[in-house]
A and B are shown apart, each in its own frame.
Chain A
Amino acid sequence: MKSAGNDIVALNVIDKQRTCQPVFYSKFITPFELALYHQPQMAFEIFVWLLWSVKESAYKYLKRGDANLVFSPSKIIVQDIEVSREFRSDRWEGDQSVGMFFKGNVLYDTHTLYFKSIIYDEFVATVVNGENNFQYVYWGVQLIDKSDSVSQSENVRLFVLNKLNSLFPNYALSIDKGPAGYPILFNDGKEMDIPISFSHHNRYVSYSFLNLK
């Protein structure tokens, strides 16, 4: 299945104290996943939101193939997390000079997906793919001026269209949302075979898309 899925969590607006309470994280993290936490790689609250971002990214990826899929984060189970040393080969739009990079795989029912995540001081961003090869997966993160939903929606579209216009300079690209809620890319009104995913949280917006050309 060709699809795309990403997520971003703005760490500067999360409630760290609440995140670290079992009553909170046990709503979506399983005991198996808790055992993946190894200090001192990262603070526990960041681990919790890293797993959340992987699960949400996986849900978005799978939703494209199953419009009736309901987000069940406790059933989307992260199998493995490791520090990634391959990050620089990614089609990432953003600063690579700082941050921590992770990769791993996640299981939902019979579906295994692969993920890459980047953690900066203020955000954790994740992208997933159906193959353990991110050569054709484009993704990026941008800080915007305002955090209201209209600004988020407008800015994430401008951000991804700017990237897509650089890849398809003579196309008339536009984006609309399909009935299942995910964005669809059009060229001159005709749907393109490039799945796109958006995410935003507070003043951060992010995109991912799969371009096999």
Chain B
Amino acid sequence: MDRKEILSELKKVLAPYTESKEMLAEINEQTDLIKDLKINSANLVDIIIDAEAQYNIEIDFDAAEKMYNVGNCIDVISEKINKPA
């Protein structure tokens, strides 16, 4: 799965937690989850749990704290997906 495909799937993960649907349609790697998508910080853990289910991966403490913008989320997900079993 390349970064473009991860981004496409990530939109589905983020959709329930943002009121900025127009912004969601136009997100790029610089988009900030809280400042730009107006996602409440209380939903950040929900997003991590949903991403784990969506991509069948496990995101640990250290990785989770990097997921404050879309590019970082893709970095973490990409690394976990491509990690050898």
Contact = CB atoms under 8 A, between A and B. Distances in A.
B42 A18 contact: no
A75 B66 CA distance: 13
A213 interface: no
Contacts, number: 40
Contact of B61 (A27, A56, A202): A27
A148 interface: yes
B64 A27 contact: yes
A92 to B, nearest CB: 22
Interface string A193-213: 000000011100000000000
Interface residues of B, number: 17
A149 B65 contact: no
Nearest to A53: B42
A181 B35 contact: yes
B46 interface: yes
Which bracket fits the contact residues of A? Answer: 20 to 34
Interface of A: 9, 14-15, 18, 23-24, 27-28, 49, 52, 56, 70-75, 148-149, 181, 200-202
Interface of B: 19-20, 35, 38, 40-42, 45-46, 48-49, 52, 61, 64-66, 68
10 contacts: A24-B49, A27-B49, A49-B42, A71-B68, A73-B65, A74-B65, A149-B19, A149-B20, A181-B35, A200-B40
